[in-house]
Amino acid sequence: MTVFTLSVGVGLLVLFVYLTSRTQICVVRFVGLSLVMAGGLSNLLDRILRHGLVTDFVTIRIGPFQTGIFNAADVLIMIGVSLIICTVQMKTRPTGRMQ
């Protein structure tokens, strides 16, 4: 468990250095990587400070509508990864022009 926690910490540190050292980066990709880092940092802090217990669970109730219980940090990570995938897809998408 300690090795995993330390490796996540190192990975987040590398991601932070990458984000702060890039002079040019697509805004959507920057936001995506920042969300991944924020969610990862939240999970890492839970692991360290709460002895592995996760504390950021959320459920949403609006009238008769109710979501399941989900982890807010994991949602941030998934949104960030989705944004990163979108930027990759935009780069590889053909322009549709005939040559």
Task: Please name every residue paired with 11 in a beta bridge, in sequence order, or none if there are none.
Answer: none
Q: How far apart are CA 60 and CA 43, in angstroms?
A: 20
d(CA 41, CA 7): 12
Residues designated catalytic? 56, 74
CB burial of 4-42 (b: ≥16 within 10 Å; e: otherwise) equals: eeeebeeebeebeeeeeeeeeeeeebbbbbbbbbebbbb
